[in-house]
Amino acid sequence: MDFDARLAPYAAHSSKSRGRTHIEPPAGSRSEFQRDRDRIIHSTAFRRLEYKTQVFLNHEGDLFRTRLTHSIEVAQIGRTLARSLQLNEDLVEATALAHDLGHTPFGHVGQDVLNECMKDYGGFEHNLQSLRVVDELEEHYGAFDGLNLTFETREGILKHCSLTNARQLGELGRRFMDRSQPSLEAQLTNLADEIAYNNHDIDDGLRSGLLTMAQMEEVELFARHRRMVETQYPGLPGRRALYETIRLMITAMTADLVETSRALIAEAAPQGIDDVRAAPPLIRFSPEMRAETTALKRFLYANLYRHFQVNRMRVKASRIVRELFEAFLQDPVLLPNDYQVEGESEEMRMLQARKIADYIAGMTDRYAIREHRRIFSLDHF
């Protein structure tokens, strides 16, 4: 079966994949990237995303986005974009569904605090943790640790990486040292992620009451599409008008990205994926759309992500993560047996800290809260 028949020559062809760390027989009726996607969906880490924070903590409301729903939205937007550019939809979907597998509980604050806690033990990067999840931590197969994903999917998961860590990753980390590019599919998934969170954070912010429609209309990108909805549907009720506005914004962003990227690809004329890696980034917004999305992100940062009510929860979440880490490091016997490391050497202490980071990063929001209560609350004897 030719899974790559409709793809452009510069797309990532599953038949030309750089392969897996552990050699396996062909996937039969599935392409290699479809097999990756299926393994990700069936992983334990993927299921945990249902109870991990996007902006609002899991218990704050049933309708706010979670890491799971966000990942699905990224995959949907990514597949649409990939189809328009004749790129590999299956690779985009696999990368999108896996890109947050290593994210901590409590969103970015959890990551920041865990990185601070790990500063003497190699630090913590959530992209690198996502790679660690699929390479080592998942336990589903008899022949190997992890999910044994293809090079291309692993490459797309690793959006950012410090040079120190890149040097330890061999071929996968090379592009961070020689400043080459990943596949177009990886570049596209990165921007599909941005489109998804920019737009759904507007919805969640308004639903929560932390943002108002009057505030949002200060952002030209939003205000312009809001006026378009009012012209087409005079008197449309508030929530339906909001959904129409967000729908138009997503359409505008995706159309701009496709048009701009198509022109850049035509100019660079890559004949294959190796040419893509040697070229500058080819999946981009136009300068005008980039300016507007940057203005939107700055608005959301100032008015939503740093809203005092969100900051109160950030402080609580920071305390939970930090106190759990410190307690586990001081008394590893508090950890489940699989996460305890025997030995007092510096190497064993480094390994113990990394195991603690794995344990905390794998927690859902509510499990982290529960663990903190078990350890520190006098009501739990």
* Digit-coded pLDDT (tens) for 54-99: 665 554 545 577 899 999 999 999 999 999 999 999 999 999 999 9
pLDDT tens digits for range 111-155: 999 999 999 999 999 999 999 999 999 999 999 999 999 999 999
pLDDT score of 163:
86
Smallest CA-to-CA distance from 205 within 295, 293, 300, 294 is with 300
Question: Mean pLDDT throughout 7-36?
Answer: 94
Which residue has 């129409």 as its token pair? 244
Which whole-number Å values give the CA distances from 131 to 119, 121, 156, 224, 283, in the listed order? Answer: 19, 18, 10, 39, 23
Q: Locate tokens 């640790």: which residue? A: 145
Average pLDDT over residues 195-204: 92
Tokens representing 378 are 């006098």
279, 268 contact by CB (below 8 A): yes
Taking only the tens place, the pLDDT of each residue in 157-175 is 998 888 888 898 989 999 9
Please count the other Cβ atoms lying within 10 Å of the Cβ belonging to residue 168. Answer: 11
Please state, in angstroms and rounded to a whole number, the distance separating the CA atoms of residues 353 and 372. Answer: 18
CA distance 236 to 306: 31
Residue 179 burial (C-beta neighbours within 10 Å; 0-12, 13-18, 19+): exposed
The tokens describing 313, both together, are 């929860």
Mean pLDDT over residues 30-38, rounded? 97
Please give the mean pLDDT across all residues of the chain.
Answer: 93
* 64 vs 272, residue with greater confidence: 272
| pLDDT, tens digit (0-9, with 9 covering 90-100), for 200-259 | 999 988 988 889 999 999 999 999 999 999 999 999 988 999 999 999 999 999 999 999
Whether 328 and 121 have beta carbons less than 8 Å apart is answered as: no
Q: Taking the CA atoms of the chain, what radius of gyration do you get in angstroms?
A: 22
Residue 33 is which amino acid? Answer: F
Termini Cα distance of the chain: 60
Cβ-based neighbour number of residue 379 at 10 Å: 6
pLDDT value for 312:
86
Predicted pLDDT of residue 62: 53
CA 55 – CA 64 distance, rounded (Å): 8
Q: Which residue has the tokens 């974009």?
A: 81
Question: Does residue 123 contact residue 65 with C-beta atoms inside 8 Å?
Answer: no
Identity of the amino acid at 355: K
Report residue 192's pLDDT band, with 50, 70 and 90 as the boundaries: very high
pLDDT on residue 209: 87
Q: Which residues contact 65 (CB under 8 A, 6 or more apart)?
A: 54, 55, 56, 73, 200, 201, 204
pLDDT for res 380: 56
Region 37-52: mean pLDDT is 95
Q: Give the pLDDT of residue 55.
A: 65
